[in-house]
A and B are shown apart, each in its own frame.
Chain A
Amino acid sequence: MSTKPADQPGRPQSVEELSARLGEQAYLADRGLATAVFLSLSLGQPLLLEGEAGVGKTEVAKALAPALGAELVRLQCYEGIDAHQALYEWDYTRQLLYARLLQEGRELREDAADEIFGPRFLVERPLLQAVRAGDRAVLLIDEIDRADDEFEAFLLEMLSDFQVTVPELGTIRAERPPAVVLTSNRTRELHDALKRRCLYHWIDYPSLDREVEILAARAPAVPADLARRVAAAVDRIRTLDLVKAPGVAETIEWAKALAFLGVSQLERDSVDVTLGAVVKDHDDLVRIRDDLERILAYD
């Protein structure tokens, strides 16, 4: 199953083109990330993204879907998720009702069982949707580390052949596999077998300049000068020894909050009331308030 990008209309032909298309979706990918995504598309291998919370792992998939003209199919993992919640489920209540209707008096129909286990009563879940859509979809498997390892094993199988067998309906297979992005916050180490099947990219906090650019793209309403000050302050906050350092998402929220309040300078008062947008741990807040002068220093 050769999936060179040239075979697939709508797929970018080079790393630069991919970067530009993601840029149109207001996602600024650095060279490393763009290369990883490009390779993932070219080789037809899933891309595993890791990084601190809030650095934009999920956003990659959200931007990639429109950049490829594809539909985003999202599977949010959580503790206890099982194959049926990810693949498909029969609509049991409606099936039972229908079975009861069939029973009540009317002539016995030969194909009743086929009908009960037919497409009418099948509830498609994200993985089946993605298999059906094939390369017209970007499949985002979000926070895979939250699911347990049994689910990981199931996913591994699924990602290797992109086919789903519903015993009553037969096998459904993706002719061209969808683009797959997995994200993990590293709350637990993923299994090596899964990691080996994926391309891997660690997303770091962006540099100061990059974060200013991200603010310009993501929060255009924020004045450029304020954006720079906010990015500089967040950059300093990240160097503190915090329980949870703010991610890019927090930077954007904070800049938006300040702009909404009509603030153009970072001053003690305005910062004090909006700090909750960027730091969300009590101990951290105390720490930062102690050190506010240095954090807000701007030159």
Chain B
Amino acid sequence: MTDDGRGGGGTQVVPALAGFGRELRAAGLRVGTGQVLSFCQGLSHLDPTDLRDLYWSGRACLVSHRDDLTAYDAAFGRYFLGEAAPRLVADTDRAPTVDSIGARPLDTPAPVVGGERRPSAEDVGQAASEVELLRAKDFAECDPDELAAIGRLMTGLVVGTPTRKTRRTERARKGARPDLRRALRTHVRHGGADLRIPRRRPRIRPRPLVLLLDVSGSMSSYSRALLQFAYAVARGPGRVEVFCFGTRLTRVSGALARRDPDEALRRAAETVVDWQGGTRIGESIREYLRTWAWRGGFRGGVVVVCSDGLERGDPEVLAAAMARLARLAYRVFWVNPLKTGPAYEPATRGMRAALPHIDLLVSGHNLASLASLGAVLEALD
């Protein structure tokens, strides 16, 4: 790295370049000081008056996510080309998410989860004394206070994530593989008198877990509880990705990664555009497969789909998507709140199409059954 102080070739240039860094931050990009420094130093090797050099070196130095490229282009246009753009971000340094920069009008429905009055301490106390009752109560029959109480119960729920053996190994008293590296060391140390051979065994790591939550109208009594469940799972040790879908798929993992559950759920709810629209399960799963799954990030992972199976789209599409999902994933679970007993017969066309590709169908209509789903996940090997 150059530290010869030749930053961009002039005193006027550097503040302008640094200003661009601030502009990007205001547009929601995470730009570190080191990156701005690289940008200035880099331009000293190029021609800062050449817009192409300016554009490309800025892109190389200041952007580190593909998703930020659009925001970068917009900010570049605003800052260097003076293109008029609606500045939603006034003078705040606190950057909003990139989503809110997009031209989407503010017609997203009011957040369903957070935002409302928190129940008082008395309510909580009362609800806590009725935990057992709540555990068995169908989410659809709960009033808002009860749902809030369930939400808090769930955040306390530590859901185990499934595990797998990896190719990395760790020391073990009884392992399948000899540890030659340590064998040599003890051999040298003890002058060849030590006959024990140290061992290693494969390390156990969590499997990736993917939750696909149906938030369409027919699921409205359950979607909030499911989102809370997702929050509880996402705080577990493993890699967890959470998506919501109705007519289209939205990733909410990022929003759920907050410490404060209310804040996390509020953000997740804001991210989802089509709360309570129709359901296109097949399309949504296909969308997931196309944009997220093929990259392999979840190969060997476990997928949990939460939906009532009321498919408005083509059941053929759903069947094909589920077949592909089942081939890529280690296990596919389906949570259907309509399945309330063991004698459940799938009535909807969508459910019938999906059923052959599901490893396990559970009900998940109340807290007890979601907790048991957590136990099933944890027991997988």
A residues lining the B interface (CB < 8 Å): 1-5, 15, 31-32, 35-36, 38-40, 42-45, 47-48, 50, 78-80, 82, 84, 90, 92-93, 95-96, 99-100, 103, 113, 116, 148, 185-188, 192, 195-202, 241-244, 283
B194 vs chain A, min Cβ distance (A): 12
Whether the pair B30, A192 counts as a contact (CB closer than 8 A) is yes
Chain B residues in 8 Å Cβ range of A15: 46, 53
Chain A residues in 8 Å Cβ range of B32: 196
Choice from A36, A78, A90 contacting B60 with Cβ under 8 Å: A36
Is B45 in the interface zone, CB < 8 Å from A? yes
Chain B residues in 8 Å Cβ range of A93: 180
How many chain B residues touch A (CB < 8 A): the figure is: 45
Contacts A187-B296, A283-B320 aside, 9 further interface pairs with beta carbons under 8 A come to A4-B2, A31-B56, A36-B59, A39-B46, A42-B42, A42-B45, A47-B60, A79-B166, A96-B180
Residues facing A in B179-234 (CB within 8 A) are 180-181, 183-184, 187-188, 191-192
Choice from A39, A188, A200 contacting B42 with Cβ under 8 Å: A39
B282 vs chain A, min Cβ distance (A): 13
Whether the pair A5, B45 counts as a contact (CB closer than 8 A) is yes
Q: Would you give the 0/1 interface string for B163-181, flagging 1 where the beta carbon is closer than 8 Å to chain A?
A: 0001110000000000011
Choice from B2, B53, B166, B192 contacting A2 with Cβ under 8 Å: B2
Choice from B66, B181, B297 contacting A90 with Cβ under 8 Å: B181
Residues facing A in B1-48 (CB within 8 A) are 1-4, 30, 32, 34-35, 38, 41-42, 45-46
A218 to B358, CA, bound (A): 46
A39 to B59, CA, bound (A): 11
Chain B residues in 8 Å Cβ range of A3: 1-2
Chain B residues in 8 Å Cβ range of A96: 180, 183-184, 187
Whether the pair B64, A195 counts as a contact (CB closer than 8 A) is yes
Among A31, A50, A196, which residue has the most Cβ atoms of chain B within 10 A?
Answer: A196
Chain B residues in 8 Å Cβ range of A200: 59-61, 63-64
Chain A residues in 8 Å Cβ range of B239: 188
A189 vs chain B, min Cβ distance (A): 8
A148 to B32, CA, bound (A): 24
A-B contact pairs, 14 of them (CB 8 A): A2-B2, A3-B2, A4-B4, A15-B53, A31-B52, A35-B46, A42-B2, A43-B45, A80-B166, A95-B184, A199-B38, A200-B63, A202-B69, A244-B294
Contacts across chains A and B counted by CB atoms under 8 Å: 123
- Given A4-B2, A192-B64, A199-B38, A187 and B45 contact (CB-CB distance below 8 Å): no
Whether the pair B60, A35 counts as a contact (CB closer than 8 A) is yes
Whether the pair A39, B290 counts as a contact (CB closer than 8 A) is no
Is B324 in the interface zone, CB < 8 Å from A? yes
Residues facing A in B77-118 (CB within 8 A) are none
Whether the pair A186, B295 counts as a contact (CB closer than 8 A) is yes
B residues lining the A interface (CB < 8 Å): 1-4, 30, 32, 34-35, 38, 41-42, 45-46, 52-53, 56-57, 59-61, 63-66, 69, 166-168, 180-181, 183-184, 187-188, 191-192, 239, 289-290, 294-297, 320, 324
B133 vs chain A, min Cβ distance (A): 42
Whether the pair A100, B192 counts as a contact (CB closer than 8 A) is yes
Q: Closest 4 interchain pairs by CB?
A: A80-B167, A35-B56, A195-B64, A36-B60
Chain B residues in 8 Å Cβ range of A48: 64
A91 to B279, CA, bound (A): 60
Chain B residues in 8 Å Cβ range of A241: 290
Chain B residues in 8 Å Cβ range of A2: 2-4
The closest CB in chain B to the CB of A112 belongs to B188
The closest CB in chain B to the CB of A78 belongs to B167
Chain B residues in 8 Å Cβ range of A196: 32, 34-35, 64
B169 vs chain A, min Cβ distance (A): 8
The closest CB in chain A to the CB of B64 belongs to A195
The closest CB in chain B to the CB of A40 belongs to B60
Chain B residues in 8 Å Cβ range of A36: 56-57, 59-60
A78 to B166, CA, bound (A): 11
Whether the pair B61, A199 counts as a contact (CB closer than 8 A) is yes
B316 vs chain A, min Cβ distance (A): 13
Chain A residues in 8 Å Cβ range of B166: 79-80, 148
A31 to B47, CA, bound (A): 14
A84 to B180, CA, bound (A): 13
B9 vs chain A, min Cβ distance (A): 13
Choice from A4, A31, A39, A192 contacting B61 with Cβ under 8 Å: A39
Whether the pair B295, A43 counts as a contact (CB closer than 8 A) is no
Whether the pair B59, A243 counts as a contact (CB closer than 8 A) is no
A46 vs chain B, min Cβ distance (A): 11
Whether the pair A198, B64 counts as a contact (CB closer than 8 A) is yes
A100 to B188, CA, bound (A): 10
A79 to B52, CA, bound (A): 39
A233 vs chain B, min Cβ distance (A): 21
Whether the pair B2, A50 counts as a contact (CB closer than 8 A) is no
A148 to B66, CA, bound (A): 21
Whether the pair B289, A243 counts as a contact (CB closer than 8 A) is yes
A275 vs chain B, min Cβ distance (A): 19
A296 to B192, CA, bound (A): 72
A171 vs chain B, min Cβ distance (A): 21
